[in-house]
Amino acid sequence: MKVLKKNRFNKFYFEKKVLLCAVLAVFAGGVFYSQNENVNDGVLAESLEKTESSENSEKKSASEDSEKLKKEKAEDSKEKKEESKKSKKAKKTEKTDESDKKQEKNKEITKIDPYLGDVYIPVKKYSLFFENYSIECNSERGTFNFYSAQKNRKKTPVFSNYEDSISSSFFLKIGKTVYCLNKDSAVQKELWKTANGARLVYTINNKARVAIDFSFEPEETVKKIFALEQNDEKIVTEQDGNLLKTEEDEEVPDDVVLPGVIKIRAYVTNLSEKKANFALKSVLDTAVGEGADFHFLTENGLSFNSEHQFENMLKERALCVSDSKTSAEFVFEGKNISSPEVVTIANIAYLNSPRWIMVSESGRSFNSLNAYNNSGISVVWPQKKLQKEETYSIQFFAGISSNGRKCDTLKYVDFVETDSTKKVEKTEPAASFDVQGSKKADVDFIVQNVTEKQLDFEYIQNLINRIDALESTDTDVDRNELRQLNSELDAILAALRKRN
């Protein structure tokens, strides 16, 4: 019994003890949990504070970085603007410098002719073009040539193009000394581009300068002249130097190739300290027409296959060379054309002989030991006495045509020089001079038999002076009077030749 009670007591005690332990465990756990929770809350708060601080720090740092970037960008932008301004300024300066350099270069290149007063640019080679034609000049040799180009074919030279056309040249006579301007070593050669065309300049130091201008006549004027040919009678008017087409005039078809009209003008200037006599000659080594039936044709219908010398060109006025493709015409007589002293057609070797005016043998062949049918034209103009730095000029016209068309250069010369308003009629060629008397250039006058008074030296000199005065005047010249005086002079010279 006692043992049973004791066991019950022990069991009860044990249960209480277990319960107490459980209560203590629960209490201890709650205390521990509470303490742990407090600790965790503190750690969490501290962590949150640190995070917030870190975030604030990062935000502050990001803000500072942003402001720094903004400042840097602003500084970069400022620097770029300054650099851009500097760059633009530098470019403007460069452009200004380049412009100044170009202007200086242009000033260096562009020059003014001290004797003729016009502007020019020195060049080595220069070509002028009109329709199918060209003028080509070379400064190194001082040479020139005219060309006609057929469609889809090589260009055809009017003059021999052997050695840069060296065989066609101008000659200058000073006193008794003769210079071949494109061959003589004493002659300096230049080529200038001018407003109107090309200018070959030949200078003999302290003696003389010869400037030769080549230019095509304006297309508009050539078209109008060509249109005039469509009708027999036209009314032609000039206004400011340009021809005006009447309502009757026909338009030039677009497919028609116009002839090219070339004006050649030579200026001779005395560079010496003393007055002296100067004379000019041109030798043209024609290539066109040398294979044709006749080498040379004249306006009045004459044809030549052998040597001939013309004492003047009042009757013939022009010489034409032609083949099946190309024609060229040279006009030596007309208004505003310098009348030559003598014109000779002969073998080119004879024309380039040292004699100023060659002794012609009429009918002599164009052949030589070195060449067959090698013909050319020599034109000699009267001499002129010039004072220091005085200049005189001569002028004539040339024409080129292609496709078998006639040049009509003489028609151009006659029509373009008509009065302000007048009826243009086809004129008959002037008759050649005869000692006994003749009709010249539509002017009826008779040269009577030469008297003893006219053979007097003083009379002849006064006659020559009068002719020179008329030819050198800048105003309109009375061509009838000039022709009559020249005819009288020719008659006197013919009479003197008969006496000798």
**3-class DSSP state of 150:** coil
> Alpha-carbon Rg of the chain, whole angstroms?
51
Domain boundary, last residue among 427, 454, 483: 427
- 143 with 199, same domain: the answer is yes
Domain boundary, last residue among 387, 412, 427: 427
Write down the pLDDT at residue 250: 46
133: β partners: 130, 148
Residue 368 lies inside a defined structural domain of this protein: yes
- 437 with 423, same domain: the answer is no
Q: Do 133 and 146 meet the contact criterion of CB atoms below 8 Å apart?
A: yes
Residue 495 lies inside a defined structural domain of this protein: yes
Domain tally, the chain: 2
| Residue owning tokens 């034109």 | 379
Task: Name, in order, each residue with C-beta under 8 angstroms of 209's C-beta and a sequence gap of 6 or more.
Answer: 115, 201, 202, 203, 268, 269, 271
- 358 with 479, same domain: the answer is no
- 463 with 362, same domain: the answer is no
pLDDT digits (tens, 9 = 90+) for 86-107: 666 666 666 666 656 555 544 4
- 421 with 442, same domain: the answer is no
Residue 227 lies inside a defined structural domain of this protein: yes
Name the pLDDT band for 83 (thresholds 50, 70, 90): confident
User: Higher confidence at residue 465 or residue 250?
Assistant: 465
pLDDT digits (tens, 9 = 90+) for 234-248: 434 444 444 444 444
Is the confidence at residue 267, as pLDDT, over 90?
yes
Write down the pLDDT at residue 286: 93
- 478 with 395, same domain: the answer is no
Is the confidence at residue 273, as pLDDT, over 80?
yes
Residue 84 lies inside a defined structural domain of this protein: no
- The whole-angstrom separation of Cα 389 and Cα 275 is 9
- Domain containing residue 447: 433-500
Write down the pLDDT at residue 140: 92
CATH code: domain of residue 165: 2.70.98
| Backbone phi, psi, residue 180, to 5° | -85, 110
Q: Do 332 and 410 meet the contact criterion of CB atoms below 8 Å apart?
A: no
- 445 with 497, same domain: the answer is yes
User: Higher confidence at residue 196 or residue 480?
Assistant: 196
Write down the pLDDT at residue 411: 82
Q: Give CB contacts under 8 A, 24+ apart, made by 88-93.
A: none
Residue 437, sorted as left (phi over 0), alpha (psi -120 to 50) or beta, turns out to be left
Distances (CA, A) of 166 to 35, 291, 295, 445: 126, 21, 21, 44
pLDDT digits (tens, 9 = 90+) for 185-195: 999 999 999 98
Torsion over CA: 297, 127, 347, 383 (sign): positive
DSSP code per residue over 171-233:
EEEETTEEEETTT-TT-EEEEEEESSSEEEEEEETTTEEEEEEEEEPPHHHHHHHHHHTTSS-
- 319 with 463, same domain: the answer is no
- 224 with 347, same domain: the answer is yes
Task: Name, in order, each residue with C-beta under 8 angstroms of 464's C-beta and a sequence gap of 6 or more.
Answer: 489
Residue 486 lies inside a defined structural domain of this protein: yes
Please give the angle made by the CA atoms of 353, 357 and 360, to the nearest 5 degrees: 85
Residue 487 lies inside a defined structural domain of this protein: yes
- 300 with 161, same domain: the answer is yes
Residue 12 lies inside a defined structural domain of this protein: no
pLDDT digits (tens, 9 = 90+) for 415-432: 775 433 233 333 333 333
Is the confidence at residue 436, as pLDDT, over 50?
no
Distances (CA, A) of 486 to 19, 463, 476: 169, 9, 17
- 414 with 467, same domain: the answer is no
Residue 5 lies inside a defined structural domain of this protein: no
pLDDT digits (tens, 9 = 90+) for 21-68: 665 655 555 544 444 444 445 544 555 555 556 556 655 666 666 676
Q: Which of 279, 260, 288, 298 is nearest to 338 (CA)?
A: 279
Give mean pLDDT, residues 148-158: 79
- The whole-angstrom separation of Cα 98 and Cα 92 is 10
**3-class DSSP state of 402:** strand
Domain boundary, last residue among 397, 427, 457: 427
Name the pLDDT band for 249 (thresholds 50, 70, 90): very low
- 414 with 466, same domain: the answer is no
Q: Which of 277, 245, 229, 232 is nearest to 383 (CA)?
A: 277
